[in-house]
Structures are given as C-alpha cells and as structure tokens.
Amino acid sequence: MTPKFLRGYLQVFRDKGLKEGIKAVGLPVAIGMFMFFLIKGVVLYILLPYLIAKGVFSG
C-alpha cells in the first residue's frame, strides 16, 4: 500500500537507519513520509473501523 515514489526512500531508512536516512533524503521528505504514514494509520485503524461500527457503510 506504499506509493511507488516512497519505496526508494523507505529502503534508505531501512538500510541506514533514522539519522542517516534523514541526512540522505532530507528533512522535508522525512516529515512528509511521517505525515503520510500517520494519516494512513489513522484512516485504516481508527476511522474506518469506527465508521463500520457506526453503520455508515450499510445502505
């Protein structure tokens, strides 16, 4: 579920760690990745189950 343009950056973080990853890709990219995964997590694990439990998706 990760966009193609982020896969290369994620590999840098996995290989080199957080500090070296931020140095390699830049702080704005690191902040953007953090925000992307934060929003993705909130939608998948909090908002979507809440809406399903509330019955929003049942016709």
pLDDT of residue 59: 67
pLDDT of residue 56: 84
* pLDDT, tens digit (0-9, with 9 covering 90-100), for 34-59: 999 999 999 999 999 999 999 888 76
How high is the mean pLDDT of the chain?
89
Phi, psi of 55 (to 5 degrees): 90, 20
pTM above the 0.85 mark? no
- What are the domain boundaries of the chain? 28-54
pLDDT of residue 29: 85
pLDDT of residue 25: 86
**Residue-wise DSSP of 1-59:** ---HHHHHHHHHHHHH-HHHHHHHH-HHHHHHHHHHHHHHHHIIIIIHHHHHHHTTT--
